[in-house]
Amino acid sequence: MAEETDVRPHQSKPANESLFETPPMAEQERMVEAILFASADPVTIADMNARMPHGCDAKEAVEHLHNRYEGRGVRVVRVGEAYAIRTAPDLGYLMQKETTETRKLSRAAIETLAIIAYHQPVTRAEIEEIRGVSVSRGTIDLLIEMEWIRFGRRRMTPGRPVTFVVTPGFLDHFGLETARDLPGLKELRAAGLLDNRPPPGLAELDQVDDDEDDGDEGQGEMFEE
């Protein structure tokens, strides 16, 4: 009986096992490291064992490798029944490349901003009315993101539309104490910023505008009627 148990392992050994010694565990660890590194998908223990020389214990080798990578920039993770090497989660930000680019604000954005600055508080419908074209959500979002405009109080009219006002950040950026410091049309014209003469009949309208620019709270209502 005792003899039999002694003998059996030898008999059951395939020929290649006696010819080629099982590699030491350190070597097996190298193997699973290379396999996990190069594979396009996670690899199962069975698959690793199939690829490694006979007698290897991929499971144990993976465990050693897992411990070796503890605290490193990559780690050995289990994915279902398989294993893979992945970036340490805290270093995910390295997979991003940030570039900063200074861009001139689009014409749509600068016009929208100007209208908000001159007419605040102003609703989106009013901005569109003044510009003559619809204002994209992206433009408003951008200006809000830049912290140059913010939501003001809702207008007490049907639909209770939100209004937009400029922020202290806006004033700071443009070197203004208040939005009222913005020059009116008359001043713009005097400064040569307006070279195209107003169409006939518009002179009066301008006049009204300029007056109203001083009291900017009330301006918005003009368009609601």
Partner 1 sequence: MAEDDLFQEDKLSVSDRLAAEALIIDVDGFEGPLDLLLTLARTQKVDLLKISVLQLSEQYLIFVEKAKELRIELAADYLVMAAWLAFLKSRLLLPPDPEAEGPSGDELAAHLAFQLERLAAMRDAAARLMARDQKGRDFFARGITEDVERIKNVEYSATLLDLMQAYARIRTKDEFRPYVMDRDNVFTMEQALDRMRGMIGFAGSWTDIMSYLPGGWDNDPSRRRSATAATFAAALELVKEGHAEIRQSETFSPIQLRHRTNRDG
Residues in 115-174 that interact with its own copies by CB under 8 A = none
* Contact call for residue 30 and its own copies (CB under 8 A): yes
Question: Residue 166 binds what, of its own copies, partner 1, none (CB under 5 to 8 Å, by partner type)?
Answer: none
Type of residue numbered 12: S
Question: Residue 202 binds what, of partner 1, its own copies, none (CB under 5 to 8 Å, by partner type)?
Answer: partner 1
Q: Select from 45-53, 154-162, 197-205, 216-224 the region that touches its own copies (CB under 8 A).
A: 45-53
Q: Select from 12-20, 44-52, 102-110, 130-138 the region that touches its own copies (CB under 8 A).
A: 44-52
Type of residue numbered 107: R
Please provide residue 203's backbone torsions phi and psi, each rounded to the nearest 5 degrees. Answer: -55, -40
Of 83-102, which residues contact its own copies (CB under 8 A)? 85, 87-88, 91, 94-98
Closest distance to its own copies from the beta carbon of 162 (Å): 33
Q: Tell me which of 79, 153, 180, 190 binds partner 1, using CB under 8 A.
A: 79
Distance separating alpha carbons of residues 20 and 37, to the nearest angstrom = 25
Report which of 123, 41, 50, 26 is spatially closest to residue 84, judged by C-alpha positions: 41
Closest distance to its own copies from the beta carbon of 18 (Å): 20
Task: Indicate the burial class of 65 (C-beta count within 10 angstroms; 0-12, 13-18, 19 or more).
Answer: buried
- Mask of contacts with partner 1, 3-32, x by CB under 8 A? ------------------------------
Question: Residue 223 binds what, of partner 1, its own copies, none (CB under 5 to 8 Å, by partner type)?
Answer: partner 1
Q: Select from 14-22, 25-33, 57-65, 185-193 the region that touches partner 1 (CB under 8 A).
A: 185-193
Report CA torsion sign: 157, 159, 164, 165. positive
Phi-psi region of 196 (alpha: psi -120 to 50; beta: other; left: phi over 0): beta
For residue 74 the two structure tokens come to 């990559």
> Rounded to 10 degrees, what is the CA torsion of 169, 170, 174, 180?
-120
Distance separating alpha carbons of residues 53 and 83, to the nearest angstrom = 19
Q: Tell me which of 54, 60, 74, 128 binds its own copies, using CB under 8 A.
A: 74
Q: In terms of CB distance, is 95 or 156 closer to its own copies?
A: 95
Q: Is 158 helix (H, G, I), strand (E, B) or coil?
A: coil
Q: Which residues here bind its own copies, judged by CB under 8 A? A: 29-35, 37-40, 50-52, 71-74, 85, 87-88, 91, 94-98
